[in-house]
Amino acid sequence: MNGGMSLIVKSTVRWIFGFVLVFGASTVLYGHLTPGGGFAGGVIIACGFILWVLSYGGRGRLSFSHAVASKLDVVGLAAFEVLALAGFLGGVFFLNFVQRFWPGENFELYSGGVIPAMNLAVGLKVAAAITLVFLVLTAVRLPEDGSDADDLSTLEDAQ
């Protein structure tokens, strides 16, 4: 299982990995104009990382750090909280304070005020959290010899 899938699958994933990430980032950035947003884009980005890990097996799984995913998860949450609480300076929770300084035209990228920044924070949070959940779920493996499940490999053994 450590070797991953066939060379064809690995080559295909290597080609489409960047496209999946760009599509996810586009979904996050244009979420206030088109269907999508931070959650949907974050799921798409996480699917790209999950696809990479599935195709490359144990070696691909070890190329992603649990610590980095956890830190990105916390950064996304903190960024969303800072943006949400920044409205208190104007006296309103979730105030769209960006519109005052940078109004933007309708149906353009900058027309959403603080919403694109919040979508970025949510996208980062969701992508990191789903990737982290997948990495943790794939860290525990059953023994191959069919013995009792008391001897499960733990997350520390996998790293």
Write out the residue range of the structural domain in which residue 12 sits. Answer: 7-158
In-domain check, residue 2: no
pTM: 0.77
CB 46 within 8 A of CB 134: yes
Token pair listed for 18: 């960047």
In-domain check, residue 20: yes
In-domain check, residue 99: yes
From first to last of the 159 residues of the chain, give the pLDDT tens digit.
457 788 999 999 999 999 999 999 999 988 888 888 899 999 999 999 999 988 887 666 666 777 888 899 999 999 999 888 887 776 666 667 666 666 677 777 677 778 888 899 999 999 999 999 998 888 766 556 655 544 445 444 554
How many separate domains does the chain show?
1
Residue-wise DSSP of 56-102: HHHHHHHTS-HHHHHHHHHHHHHHHHHHHHHGGGGTSTT--THHHH-
